[in-house]
């Protein structure tokens, strides 16, 4: 019989972007990683084919992991760096001539070709997060194994957001032990309790008047139903 365990991840990179309400040409980011983004990262590591008929079932199993996100400070010259937001003015296409194949041009919903698409994309700078995922040990060990040798590339929300350090910290017997592993990986004092950090929790501990709902539980990223999400109950807790 499998026992419970906790998988610890460290999400650290020059840029991160965790969209949860992005539409059309305005691609925003949350101030912390989304569960759909974390599950998408794990699915990529495990080689889940988003065009496969069993993709929804595999994503559903990953989505059962209970997720806690912790904001970890980054320091430079002895001072804590604030998390900054970058707004990038982005263009797609443009400069096409009449000889360009129309299939290579971006298209509107109507099917008409567009010369240039303008968009605004948001990123987090100097951000670092810890992720604790609770579930069955055997399953978490399989996930950890694929994180050590991922099938596909891993990034922090978008392909341009490359991790600055290994994502996998380790699998521990419980949340407390995983937290100690995470502190060590982040080069922070092992005596600091988790209550000293901003964090986002879910599940039964997120119930209450200060809880909120996000459309952030992934159901599928591709076939057979397309990208779909279900509501997720979370609570943001500020450090003491």
What domains does the chain contain, in order, with CATH numbers?
A: 4-237 (3.30.70.2660)
Q: Is 103 helix (H, G, I), strand (E, B) or coil?
A: helix
Q: Quote the pLDDT of residue 2.
A: 60
Which one, of 178, 177, 182, lies nearest residue 167 by Cα? 182
pLDDT of residue 20: 77
DSSP annotation of 21 reads S
pLDDT at 16: 97
Pairwise CA distance, residues 131 & 42, whole Å: 12
pLDDT of residue 214: 86
First to last CA, the chain: 38
pLDDT value of residue 113: 65
Residue 229 · residue 217 · CB < 8 Å: yes
pLDDT of 48 reads 93
Tokens of 18: 């965790």
Q: Which residues pair with 9 in a beta bridge?
A: 131, 168
pLDDT profile of the chain (240 residues), mean per 10: 88 93 80 94 94 89 95 86 90 72 70 75 95 96 96 94 96 96 94 94 75 86 75 88
Q: Which two tokens stand for residue 240?
A: 């003491």
CA 237 to each of CA 17, 22, 201, 210, 224: distance values in angstroms, whole numbers, following the listed order: 21, 24, 8, 9, 37
Say if pTM beats, i.e. exceeds, 0.95: no
Listed residue (123, 142, 125, 124) closest to 133, CA to CA: 142
Structure tokens at 91: 């263009």
Report the C-alpha gap between 18 and 92 in whole angstroms: 21
Q: DSSP secondary structure string, 124-181?
A: EEEEEEEEEEEEEHHHHHHHHHHHHS-SS---SSSTT---SS-SEEEEESSHHHHHHH
CA 69/CA 9 separation, integer angstroms = 10
User: Which three-class secondary structure state does DSSP give residue 198?
Assistant: coil
Residue whose pair of structure tokens reads 């490359």 in the numeric block: 162
């Amino acid at each position: 019989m499998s026992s419970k365990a906790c998988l610890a991840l460290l999400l650290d990179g020059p840029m991160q972007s965790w969209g949860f309400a992005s539409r059309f040409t305005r691609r925003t980011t949350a101030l912390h990683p989304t569960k759909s983004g974390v599950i998408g990262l794990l699915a990529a590591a495990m080689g889940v084919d988003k065009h496969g008929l069993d993709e929804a079932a595999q994503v559903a199993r990953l989505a059962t992991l209970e997720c806690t996100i912790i904001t970890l400070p980054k320091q430079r010259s002895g001072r804590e760096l604030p998390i900054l937001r970058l707004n990038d003015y982005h263009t797609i296409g443009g400069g096409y001539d009449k000889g360009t194949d129309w299939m290579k041009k971006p298209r509107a919903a109507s099917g008409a070709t567009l010369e240039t698409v303008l968009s605004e994309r948001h990123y987090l700078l100097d951000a670092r997060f810890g992720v604790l995922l609770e579930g069955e040990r055997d399953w978490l060990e399989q996930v950890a194994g694929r994180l050590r040798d991922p099938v596909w590339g891993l990034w922090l929300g978008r392909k341009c957001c490359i991790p600055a350090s290994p994502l996998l910290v380790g699998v521990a017997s419980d949340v407390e032990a995983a937290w100690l592993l995470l502190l060590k990986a982040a080069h922070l004092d092992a005596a600091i309790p988790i209550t000293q950090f901003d964090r986002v929790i879910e599940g039964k501990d997120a119930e209450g008047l200060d809880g909120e709902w996000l459309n952030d539980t992934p159901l599928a990223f591709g076939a057979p139903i397309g990208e779909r999400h279900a509501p997720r109950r979370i609570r943001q807790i500020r450090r003491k």
